[in-house]
Structures are given as C-alpha cells and as structure tokens.
Copies of this chain bind each other. A is one copy, B any other.
C-alpha cells in the first residue's frame, strides 16, 4: 500500500459515516510536544505504522505529520492525532479505495507534578479480553478502558490496574505498569508483556529500548509483595505507586517511594525532557 498524501486538518467535526466513529475503525496517538518538538516522536510514528499494518490501512504521509508539531508554538502541549479508515464501505466491509482521515487537536498541558511524588492505584474489576490481533496498538475501540475508568470517582485514586481473564496484570487504564520484584534493588525493572491485550505505550517502549525495562508477566497476587510499582505514560511521565487498593478501596499495600522509585522515574523523565540530560 502506498502512502496517503493528505492535508492535516485541525477539525472539530467528523462525518457521521466515518468508520472511526461507526466502529472504532482507526488509531490515535497522544503526543507530548515541547516548544514545537514532539517527544518520543519516532516511537509514536512507529506505533501508528504498526497499527496501520494490523488494520490493513495505508500509513499516513509522514512528511505531512513531520511539519505539524513545529506549528504548535512555544510551551508544553498535548497533540492528539486521530487516523481513521475514513468513510465508505458497506457495513463492516472495507471501502475498495480507502481514504483515511487524519485529524488532530492540540491543547496546552502541564503534567500533574504532585503525582510524581506517589499515587494511589486500585485494582479494577473490569478485565481485559485477550485479543492478540489487536494487542499493543492504540486503536479507537477502547470501551474496556472506559468501563475500567468508570469504576471510581475518588480523585485520590490516580489510576486503576487491569487484569486479563487469566489474572495477569496488564496495564493501567491510560498508562503502562512497571514493577520491581520483591528482592530488587536496581534495574532492570519489569513490565507486563502485551501480546494478548493492552496498549504498548511509547514511554514503555523507550525504556525497553534503553534496557531499563524488561518484559515479564505478573499475577495480581504478586503486586503487594513488589519492591516497587510505577504507572506511566509519555505525557504525564512516571508516577510511583505509594498505595495499592482493591476494587472496594481497601488497602492492599503501601510503599514509601525511595531511590529505586526515583531511578526509573529519572530515566523516564529524561526521555520525556522533564529533567535535563
């Protein structure tokens, strides 16, 4: 498939027959942009291309995409890219000549730096279905994440952890999970494999590429005994978990964030430009 040469549009609306709307038939990326420079940009583009391969969509023209972040001006922004299969096709059937739609929105952003000190995280009741065909990519059919995030309103709870149907811990609702086993005092830190479900975040990928992280499965029962837990993504950075609670809000474990926590966070925040090199 060739590239789709298409104007990038900062749109506020999409037609009702857009397949992204109708079926979740599309992809998105949420990119941290500092003074016009997108962070972890190559990893975002890599995941977008991978998603296109999985969904059988032509990838967007990267020359168009490359120009976009610089136009956002000074300061810290979050850029949301949405890339759908466009309109057409009959029902679920794909359009013979798909014309994907690439739209974007940007807004000013400040990370929640208080959460860099430590957060409360809870276990969600909502489980992730195992769907290896869609695992890892950031597609738009994200109802499981919505249901999981709907399990709590308490603003003191920063994130929820999702398990799959086998009881393996996979990720948080909008972040990846990092964990250090009981006896660990140094890196590598582990992160659950995402070959069955979950979204492979770009910060997670950056830390894997740096060999700061390794993939290793984790069952829920192991969580309270971990030396450290973190949740993180490429926009907010890394939050050390200081309190873990069950789905009813009962405390399962507490941690005093220490140097093990701060080491991983430092690596992550270097990668995101939140601390200097």
A residues within 8 Å of B by Cβ? 11-25, 28, 55-56, 82, 85, 91-94, 103, 105, 126-127, 129-131, 133-134, 139-150, 165, 173-174, 197
Contact = CB atoms under 8 A, between A and B. Distances in A.
Contacts of A141: 23-24, 140-143
A21 B23 contact: no
Given A13-B13, A173-B92, A133 B147 contact: yes
Contacts of A20: 21
Contacts of A133: 126-127, 144, 147
A83 B130 CA distance: 27
Contacts of A150: 56, 93-94
A21 B21 contact: yes
Contacts of A131: 127, 129, 144
15 contacts: A13-B13, A13-B14, A14-B16, A21-B140, A22-B140, A22-B142, A23-B141, A55-B143, A56-B147, A92-B148, A93-B150, A94-B146, A94-B149, A133-B147, A140-B141
Identify the 5 closest CB pairs spanning chains A and B, nearest first.
Answer: A141-B141, A129-B129, A24-B24, A129-B131, A92-B149
A259 to B, nearest CB: 30
B24 A16 contact: no
Nearest to A105: B16
A143 B139 contact: yes
A23 B144 CA distance: 9
A15 B15 CA distance: 9
Give the most central of A19, A129, A148: most B CB within 10 Å. A129
Contacts of A134: 143-144, 147
A146 B20 CA distance: 11
B130 A165 contact: yes
Contacts of A12: 15-16
Contact of A15 (B13, B129, B139): B13
Contacts of A174: 91-92
A143 B24 contact: yes
A22 B82 CA distance: 8
A18 B143 CA distance: 13
Nearest to A145: B92
B91 A23 contact: no
